Amino acid sequence: MYDGGSVAVDHASMRIGRGEFVFLVGPTGCGKSTCIRLLLKEIEPSEGEISIAGRALNDVPRSRVPYLRRNIGVVFQDYKLLPNRTVYDNVAYSLQVIGESRQETRRKVPDILRLVGLSTKLHNFPDELSGGEQQRVSIARAFVNHPPLLLADEPTGNLDPETSIGIMQLIYRINRTGTTVVVATHDKEMVDKMRRRVIELREGRIVRDEQSGLYRPDESTTEFAIRLRGEMGVGPEGHPN
Amino acid sequence: MTFGFFLKEALRGLRRSSAPALAALLTVLLTALVLGVFIPIVQATTGTANEVRSRVAVDVYVKDSATQLEQAQLRRAIEKTSNVKSVEFISKGEALARAQQKNPKAFKEGAELLGSNPLPASFRVAPEDPDNLHLIVERLAPNGEPSLAAIDEVRDREEDTNKILSATGLVKALTAGLAVLLVIASVALIANTIRLSIYARRREVEVMKLVGATNWFIRWPFVIEGVIVGFFGGLLAVLLLTVAKETFIDPLSERFALLAAPETIDFPLLIVVLMLACIAVSAVGSGITLRRFLRV
């Protein structure tokens, strides 16, 4: 699906099938977000080719980019909701963008908000909601016109573990409807518990790609302890260097 | 649905960011006010300057000995000369009458003393273009030699003419320069205010693009906002100008020729021009400024 060449992402090739659920993991700056932005054609690869559903993104002219994006739902770490619109209007906006009729909008928006569990907060503004609720709104917005592909860039990055589970459940449910889901995350716990396909990036290269993987390949407590001390600059005997 | 939707979006935008919108409206109002005061002043000044320039003329004095036929020939010859706008014949009697009017005492005594009219008949030639007055003189009397027998002398009252031309030329150039500066300043000021108000909402534009909105889908509400701001800014300016005109200018205009100068723009036309300019500048300004933030 993806093969790019730049400083952020370097010679990374991957293929993600229809309906798959994929975690992109790796430390900060490894190129996870770059992958997402490349898929949205927010940035262009300096080399290599990306295609979605058989269509090469390089061949999509600038004027067609909005139409490409209508087929991709996106969820961000910082929610990116429109601050001066109510929950209802935020979700409705992505329907208005594609020219959906008012009746359809009136029907679909409450439906999707019920699905994400926000049917009581229709007329609240984003700053009146908790982080988890805002992320639910952003998922509702991403999924309201049922795109075949859902991208999530650190969807649980700002949330506590309990809320994160709720958000992941939601994304998982969306995946179950046949939507391909790509989640960039460094939420180790989540990745380990869900046991889906994991693609690990490091300095822009793919270092691991396994089905039902863990955030990090198995590592005993002793190994972890050694790594921890090493990384903290502490000698093996426990004395400061 | 679409236009209604854009209008609603525009109104929402105005309501939700009313402070920058108000700033833009005030800017439009102030610049429209300044322009509204300045345009008539420029016009009155150039009008007066042109009026003064139209007094520039060439006098062709006719020999007393010239016959009717020769006079008629001369008239035709002058009319055929290039750059001549109109020719006025002043007979000996008229010349005397005018001179008497200017200085009644001297001429009353003089005419009595001389017993006959000493003034020659003349043609007063008004030029098409005052700056090329010398062409007429050169044509009718090359190197001071009259080209026709009936001409006694050709005079362009050189000193007066030159003074008038240089003074009015300077006035016109100055006002034109000021007008250009003022228009540039107005457009820049309005553009800057609009830019600030859009800059405050650039995140919003970015999100809209990520959701898959086309550029024009995002742009229309901003353009409509611009139209609304421009309309109300212009309207307020026009109202203030009307009040000012009714209370200050109209009572004074009877006394000051400058204010009542015939070539000043009609007030209704001025209003229309100002309104259109306000709306156009602020709508186009919004649309263009937005372009920078649409590149996501």
Residues of B numbered 184-203 whose beta carbons fall under 8 angstroms of chain A's beta carbons: which are they? 203
CB contact under 8 A, B207 and A84: no
Q: Is residue A205 part of a domain?
A: yes
pLDDT the model gives residue B236: 93
- Angle at CA B188, nearest 5°, toward B184 and B192? 175
- If asked whether residues B224 and B274 sit together in one domain, one would say yes
Radius of gyration, CA atoms only, chain B: 31
What distance in Å separates the CA atoms of residue B146 and residue B154, rounded to the nearest whole number?
Answer: 7
Q: What is the DSSP letter of A234?
A: B
The CATH number linked to A180 is 3.40.50.300
What distance in Å separates the CA atoms of residue A62 and residue A70, rounded to the nearest whole number?
Answer: 14
Q: Is residue A131 part of a domain?
A: yes
Total domains in chain B come to 2
The interface predicted TM-score of the complex, written ipTM, equals 0.78
Among the candidates A92, A117, A146, a domain finishes at A146
CB contact under 8 A, B211 and A94: yes
> Any residues with CB less than 8 A from the CB of A225 and at least 6 apart, and which?
none
Shortest Cα distance from A75 to chain B (angstroms)? 10
- If asked whether residues B32 and B177 sit together in one domain, one would say yes
Report the DSSP beta bridge partners of residue A43. Answer: none
- If asked whether residues B75 and B189 sit together in one domain, one would say no
Total domains in chain A come to 2
Residues of B numbered 198-227 whose beta carbons fall under 8 angstroms of chain A's beta carbons: which are they? 203-204, 206-215, 217
Shortest Cα distance from B296 to chain A (angstroms)? 6
**Residue-wise pLDDT tens for chain A (241 aa)?**
444 444 567 777 888 888 899 998 888 878 888 888 888 888 888 778 888 888 888 888 888 888 989 999 999 989 899 888 899 999 999 998 888 888 999 999 999 999 898 889 999 999 999 999 999 999 999 999 899 999 999 998 888 888 888 899 899 999 999 999 999 988 888 888 888 888 888 887 888 888 877 777 766 677 777 777 776 555 444 444 3
Interface A-B, measured as beta-carbon pairs within 8 A, has a size of 52
Among the candidates B138, B156, B174, a domain finishes at B156
What distance in Å separates the CA atoms of residue B106 and residue B93, rounded to the nearest whole number?
Answer: 16
Residue type, B51: E
Report the DSSP beta bridge partners of residue A21. Answer: A181
CB contact under 8 A, B212 and A84: no
Is residue A3 within 8 A of residue A16, CB to CB? The reply is no
Nearest Cα to Cα of residue A218 among A185, A187, A188, A183 = A188
CA distances from B235 to A114, B26, B187, B259, B271 (A): 47, 11, 18, 24, 9
Shortest Cα distance from A229 to chain B (angstroms)? 42
- If asked whether residues B201 and B227 sit together in one domain, one would say yes
- If asked whether residues B100 and B232 sit together in one domain, one would say no
**Residue of A66, A84, A85 lying closest to B214 (CB–CB):** A66
> Any residues with CB less than 8 A from the CB of B93 and at least 6 apart, and which?
B117
Q: Is A64 on the interface with B (CB under 8 A)?
A: no
**Residue of B13, B211, B215 lying closest to A93 (CB–CB):** B211
- If asked whether residues A172 and A211 sit together in one domain, one would say yes
Residue A205 backbone zone (phi > 0: left; psi -120 to 50: alpha; other: beta): beta
**Residue-wise pLDDT tens for chain B (296 aa)?**
578 888 988 888 888 888 888 888 898 899 888 888 888 777 777 777 777 777 778 888 888 887 888 888 888 888 888 788 888 888 888 888 887 777 777 766 766 777 777 788 888 888 888 777 777 877 777 776 777 777 888 877 766 777 777 887 888 888 888 888 888 887 888 778 778 878 878 888 888 888 888 888 888 888 888 889 889 999 999 899 888 888 877 777 666 554 444 555 677 888 888 889 888 888 888 888 888 788 76
Helix (H) or strand (E) holding B87, with range, is strand B84-90
SS3 label, residue A166:
helix
- How far is the first Cα of chain A from the last one, in angstroms, to the nearest whole number? 47
pLDDT the model gives residue B257: 53
Among the candidates A105, A121, A146, a domain finishes at A146
Q: Which two tokens stand for residue B250?
A: 């109209």
Minimum Cα–Cα distance from B204: chain A residue: A82
- If asked whether residues A107 and A178 sit together in one domain, one would say no
Q: Which two tokens stand for residue A114?
A: 């019920």
The answer to whether the predicted template modeling score (pTM) of the entire model surpasses 0.90 is no
Q: Which two tokens stand for residue B186?
A: 């107005």
Radius of gyration, CA atoms only, chain A: 20
What distance in Å separates the CA atoms of residue B193 and residue B196, rounded to the nearest whole number?
Answer: 5
Minimum Cα–Cα distance from B217: chain A residue: A97
Q: Which two tokens stand for residue B157?
A: 């009252």
What is the DSSP track for B121-171?
PEEEEEESSGGGHHHHHHHHSGGG--SSTTEEEEE--HHHHHHHHHHHHHH
- If asked whether residues B290 and B188 sit together in one domain, one would say yes
- If asked whether residues A151 and A139 sit together in one domain, one would say no
pLDDT the model gives residue B216: 87
CB contact under 8 A, A42 and B208: no
CB contact under 8 A, B212 and A66: yes
- Chain B residues whose beta carbon lies within 8 Å of the beta carbon of residue A141: 211
Report the DSSP beta bridge partners of residue A206. Answer: A201
Is residue B201 within 8 A of residue B290, CB to CB? The reply is no
What distance in Å separates the CA atoms of residue A95 and residue B213, rounded to the nearest whole number?
Answer: 10
**Residue holding tokens 């995002």?**
B218
- If asked whether residues B283 and B204 sit together in one domain, one would say yes
- If asked whether residues A62 and A115 sit together in one domain, one would say no
- If asked whether residues B181 and B121 sit together in one domain, one would say no
Per-residue model confidence as pLDDT tens digits over B187-212: 888 778 778 878 878 888 888 888 88
Among the candidates A125, A146, A167, a domain finishes at A146
What distance in Å separates the CA atoms of residue A32 and residue A9, rounded to the nearest whole number?
Answer: 8
SS3 label, residue A87:
helix
Domain residues for B125?
58-156
Domain residues for A240?
1-6+14-71+147-241
A28 phi, psi to nearest 5 deg: -55, 140
Residue type, B224: I
Minimum Cα–Cα distance from B5: chain A residue: A96
- If asked whether residues A160 and A241 sit together in one domain, one would say yes
- If asked whether residues A142 and A152 sit together in one domain, one would say no
- If asked whether residues A88 and A207 sit together in one domain, one would say no
Q: Is residue A136 part of a domain?
A: yes
Is residue A91 within 8 A of residue A123, CB to CB? The reply is no
Q: Which two tokens stand for residue B241?
A: 């100008």
CB contact under 8 A, A94 and B12: no
Minimum Cα–Cα distance from B214: chain A residue: A66
